[in-house]
Structure 1
Amino acid sequence: MLPNTSICRLVTLSLLAFAPSAFATNAKVLIYSATEDFRHDSIPTAIQALQSKGPSFDIQFETTEDKAQFTDQYLARYDALLFLDNTGEVLDDLGKAALQKYLDLGGNFIGIHAASDCLRNTTFYGHEVGAFFDYHPALQNALQTVDVIDSCHPSTSMLPAQWHVQDEMYNFKSDPRTIGATIILSANESSYIDTGTRLNQGTPHPTAWFQERGAGAESNGTAGRSFYTSLGHLNETWQDELFLAHVFGGITWTLQSNTTLAFNTSAEVGNPSVSVDPTSNSSSTTGTSTSSSSAVISVPPIDVLPLKFMVLSIIAATFFPWLSSFYLGRFVLTAYF
């Protein structure tokens, strides 16, 4: 019998096989990296890493640090907003109102590292990110241990049960579970020194989490998904393939909320109009932005049906050996005939 982690990885693969094909549409994500207080020098490295890997996941990333871009019309173009290492009051009242409306219309949210340390007096933002940053102990030379609490989530299915990292171990002002978040990573407090006074952030120590329905949306709104990871402090972290797999697992899971135009033609926000020409190295969109940089992608059409049967064959062979020959035959017929 397979261990639970292996089972979760097989289940994750099977779900991805039947999820909307990554090659069938082009999701559009806005990276917002404005800062008013401390600024991480890893922000450019993070943006470069996200944009360079975006095409592999059929995601088009655009970037801005201009708070004036937070208008209803501008935000409505995106399937998700990714807040990256923001600190301080990075939006004015008009921008906050536009962000609230975007979330109410089904927009998705991704927060990374210091994204929990901005807009500290804006309640709906705190609910959407999950919890506000409180403090962290000094960055330590030795590796710290992060425990995987939920190995079935796409952002954790590739991680070892105890993940050894060098990063800041954030503490939070509240427990994300109180607003409905599910914790997937936890800082192992025995692996580092922290002499500070911790607030009621709950147990196990929250380090990364997700919300199926982002709590920042108003009760009469259409809530999209929310994902947050507190890791990502160092430049070296953004050059680590395992960390990037964790981040992109969270991003792709968030985009599959089915509340934006990338996957739902009746949605009210998102990217409805990216056309991909397999013979070209560019993609065309309706509307342009003069204040954003973008990773332009071109992905040839791929038939994912063989992949589905291959995944099913693996699962069938593991749990139902008598079915394996059936699925394997279907896979061979589909792939080669």
Structure 2
Amino acid sequence: MRRLLRPVLGAGLAALAVIACTTPASPASAADAPYDVLVFSKTAGFRHDAIPVGIQTIRDLGAANNFTVTATEDAAAFTTSNLAQYEAVVFLNTTGDVLNATQQTAFESYIGSGRGYVGVHAAADTEYDWPFYGNLVGAWFASHPAIQQANMKVEDRGNAATGHLPQTWTRTDEWYNYRTNARSTAHVLATLDESSYSGGGMGADHPLSWCKGYGGGRSFYTGAGHTQASYAEPAFRTHLLGGIRYAAGRSKADCRPETGYTPLYNGSTTGWSQAGPGNFTNSDATLTSVGGMGLFWYNAKQFTNYSLKLDWKLAGDDNSGIFIGFPPSSDPQSAINNGYEVQIDATDAVDRTTGAVYTYKAADIAARDAALNAPGEWNTYELLVEGERLQVFLNGVKINDFTNTDPVRSLAGHIGIQNHGTGDDAFFRNIRIKELGTTPPATGTIQAEAFSSANGVSAFTKDGANGGQTLGYIEPGDWAAYNGVNLTGVTSFTTRVVSGGAGGTIQVRTGSATGPVLGTVTVPNTGSWTTYANVTTALSNVPSGTQNLYLTFGGSGTGLFDVDDFTLVKGTGGSTGVGPVKGLAGKCLDVRSGATADGTQIQIYTCNGSTAQTWTVSGSTIKALGKCLDVSGGASADGTKIQLWTCNGSGAQNWAAQSDGSLRNTSSGKCLDVSGNNSADSTIVHLWTCNGAANQKWTLP
């Protein structure tokens, strides 16, 4: 946050703040609103002797953490009316078929009402003929070796069930192998290191604990808990408590499946630099802010289209933020003046509180408050950057959707975390990123469920959906309308869809559900109702200006597909405009020294509005100072000089803007590139093999 620091906490209060942020989950959970938990331990197969001590452990946890416990082995408890009194149901070492069809239906309705499930150890050895249960628990038991010591690798230490654990948790238990890997449908919290024990059967990726949203409710599973001794372990008890709190909705977490992320920080600060005063200490794979106002920023790379995730917590009423889209600099003010801050401070004004794009756009406060954990508990941010659109997710819930329209700024650039000042205690873990490749310039992305009117379809709450909902219940002949959509310059349509059914088609129309067809795209079966895919089609005869847009749906049968969102893409080829050409870190394409001689080097430079930065884009030529952007000698080798040259109509002067934001020389097929991905003033541009990187992205006038 960019404001004056609050007065420094007194020594006593500062000490209390430190204690609050380092104490395990129990004190935080003591403030939970009261709730009720049902512990179910019926067995129709092997019976674990740890069940009685497990029940007593959960009773003890409840007594200390504000929830009541009812324990039963009577399946008759599974009625709609009886289950309604519980926020979570724990399947404690259940085995075999324990519920009949009527009881299963009641439990499915219970989960569908938004309640929670906790599976402990042999809960995965239960109800093999009930598909709903198999999906809910996440994976079924396959086999196990003898009880022995092993290492658990804790992947996510930002969850109430794992935030207290070390990165490697060494303990003794009975270690399950599972029939399938839960990672594709659940968020994995911890895995087993099969090299640390004998009898592992899943290889390098052996999930043992996970969480997920399913069927409208929440699910947490841990494979630990076979032995009586487990329930005396403080770390396991807190692990179990965290799972119960998540399932009961008392602790929030991002439990969406997660794959493809690369760590930027998970204990190592390689590639990071401190700008300005203060610093971050680095201990236990946790960054802790000290003093400030400064910025700890990742200097090794700039990013354009990406999903950035990180875990954070505050000790109390503290202040920090995540900066994105700023150029390299040792001055923290550069990030403030050139980038955007996603704020962390739950008590400030709405446009500068947790989830806000600081002073630019407030978060959805109701959604934010529902998703936010209290001080002393970990939260997870996802910052999803697609072109100039930023979506902010807090613990898996979208709380902000911001589009940059400032021509001087860009969401592309470096990322960093703020140390705001003495007394503002912020903690960060597991900073990771997934680069998303290229994203076409868009007139806007529209959530499909945000229709103006519709026939036969409705919004459907769904795991993995951007915004938490899809447009669902689609059958042949249905349609959805979106009023007041600007279609000027739109050339294509991209949509995110999901289908475990027959698939079908989407027709894009204007005016009415029977209006002119601008394009048609086929939606395939994507593999399951939780597997999303993007499909694209070109559009033709698109009218300009604001129009009422209609999506009409076709196919055979029922339950065709869901639509998550769609993007209307503006074509760039052949456009005409006059003004700056902006690239890496928002810098401008510049004719060095404003010279007009043939062969003058082209570079990037801070935008200043001079004639050396005023380009005329017309068809395939790009001109400044009366001359053309030119590839020296018409060559095609990587590193070939880009220069100013008398216009001659040759292939060396023909350029085509691509849908991914790159600018391609049509003769060589290579791209205009900022040398070395360096955003410093006077960095030259040259020709280079197209690779989709940030230093090949350009915005034309």
Q: TM-score, normalised by structure 2?
A: 0.33
Aligned twin of 1:248: 241
Deviations 1:202-255 (A, max 9, x none): 8521100000x12xx2xxxxx111100000011111011111011111111222
Residue of structure 2 aligned with 1:159, choices 141, 154, 165: 165
Contact 1:72 1:101 in 2 (8 A): yes
- Report the secondary structure of 1:61's partner residue: strand
Stretch of structure 1 that moved more, 150-159 or 250-259? 250-259
Q: 1:310 to 1:162 in 2, by over 3 A?
A: closer
Listed as ranges, the matches of 1:123-142 within 5 Å are 123-140=131-148
- Report the secondary structure of 2:423's partner residue: helix
Distance 1:83 1:177 in 2: 21
Q: 1:315 to 1:55 in 2, by over 3 A?
A: farther
Deviations 1:30-60 (A, max 9, x none): 0000001100000000111110121222111
**Matching residue's letter, 1:36:** A
Contact 2:161 2:239 in 1 (8 A): yes
Residue of structure 2 aligned with 1:99, choices 104, 107, 120: 107
- Report the secondary structure of 1:225's partner residue: strand
1:74 paired with 2:82, answer yes
**Matching residue's letter, 1:320:** N
Distance 2:155 2:240 in 1: 16
Residue of structure 1 aligned with 2:121, choices 106, 113, 130: 113
Contact 2:315 2:425 in 1 (8 A): no
Aligned twin of 2:419: 320
Aligned twin of 1:149: 155
1:239 paired with 2:338, answer no
- Report the secondary structure of 1:124's partner residue: helix
Superposed structure 1 runs of 4+ greater than 6 Å apart? none
Aligned twin of 2:96: 88
In the TM superposition, what is the alpha-carbon distance from 1:102 to its structure 2 partner? 0.9
Residue of structure 2 aligned with 1:185, choices 187, 190, 194: 190
Deviations 1:262-313 (A, max 9, x none): xxxxxxxxxxxxxxxxxxxxxxxxxxxxxxxxxxxxxxxxxxxxxx985345
**Matching residue's letter, 1:235:** Q
In the TM superposition, what is the alpha-carbon distance from 1:323 to its structure 2 partner? 5.1
**Matching residue's letter, 1:61:** V
Q: 1:168 to 1:57 in 2, by over 3 A?
A: same
Residue of structure 1 aligned with 2:217, choices 224, 231, 246: 224
Contact 2:115 2:217 in 1 (8 A): yes
For the pair shown, the structure with the greater C-alpha radius of gyration is: 2
Contact 1:147 1:187 in 2 (8 A): yes
Q: 1:21 to 1:118 in 2, by over 3 A?
A: closer
Q: CA RMSD in A?
A: 3.1
- Report the secondary structure of 1:324's partner residue: coil
Contact 2:89 2:116 in 1 (8 A): yes
Residue of structure 1 aligned with 2:64, choices 43, 47, 56: 56
Q: 1:13 to 1:92 in 2, by over 3 A?
A: farther
- Report the secondary structure of 2:71's partner residue: strand
Q: 1:170 to 1:258 in 2, by over 3 A?
A: closer
In the TM superposition, what is the alpha-carbon distance from 1:322 to its structure 2 partner? 2.4
Distance 2:183 2:233 in 1: 29
Distance 2:208 2:58 in 1: 21
Contact 2:53 2:228 in 1 (8 A): yes
Distance 1:309 1:233 in 2: 35
Deviations 1:60-89 (A, max 9, x none): 111110011111111111111110000011
Residue of structure 2 aligned with 1:38, choices 40, 46, 50: 46
Contact 2:29 2:65 in 1 (8 A): no
Q: 1:208 to 1:309 in 2, by over 3 A?
A: closer
1:174 paired with 2:175, answer no
Distance 2:61 2:251 in 1: 22
Q: 1:174 to 1:23 in 2, by over 3 A?
A: same
**Matching residue's letter, 2:199:** D
Q: 1:74 to 1:54 in 2, by over 3 A?
A: same
Distance 1:154 1:123 in 2: 28
Which runs of 5 or more residues in structure 1 are unaligned?
Answer: 1-9, 218-222, 260-307, 328-337
Listed as ranges, the matches of 1:185-204 within 5 Å are 185-194=190-199, 198=201, 203-204=204-205
Contact 2:194 2:203 in 1 (8 A): no
Distance 1:130 1:326 in 2: 37
In the TM superposition, what is the alpha-carbon distance from 1:256 to its structure 2 partner? 1.9
Contact 1:37 1:87 in 2 (8 A): yes
Which runs of 5 or more residues in structure 2 are unaligned?
Answer: 1-17, 253-312, 322-416, 427-701
- Report the secondary structure of 2:217's partner residue: coil
Contact 1:224 1:257 in 2 (8 A): no
Q: 1:59 to 1:13 in 2, by over 3 A?
A: farther
Residue of structure 2 aligned with 1:311, choices 313, 316, 320: 316
Distance 1:40 1:314 in 2: 48
Q: 1:94 to 1:202 in 2, by over 3 A?
A: farther
In the TM superposition, what is the alpha-carbon distance from 1:21 to its structure 2 partner? 7.5
Q: 1:323 to 1:108 in 2, by over 3 A?
A: same
**Matching residue's letter, 1:169:** W
In the TM superposition, what is the alpha-carbon distance from 1:154 to its structure 2 partner? 1.4
**Matching residue's letter, 2:91:** F
Distance 1:156 1:21 in 2: 14
Distance 2:77 2:246 in 1: 26
Hey, which of these two has a bigger chunk of strand by percent? 2
Contact 2:194 2:204 in 1 (8 A): no
Q: Report how many residues are paired.
A: 250
Contact 2:42 2:94 in 1 (8 A): yes
Contact 1:225 1:257 in 2 (8 A): no
Q: Percent identity?
A: 34
In the TM superposition, what is the alpha-carbon distance from 1:183 to its structure 2 partner? 0.7
Contact 1:175 1:202 in 2 (8 A): no
Stretch of structure 1 that moved more, 248-257 or 154-163? 248-257
In the TM superposition, what is the alpha-carbon distance from 1:257 to its structure 2 partner? 6.6
Distance 1:322 1:258 in 2: 28
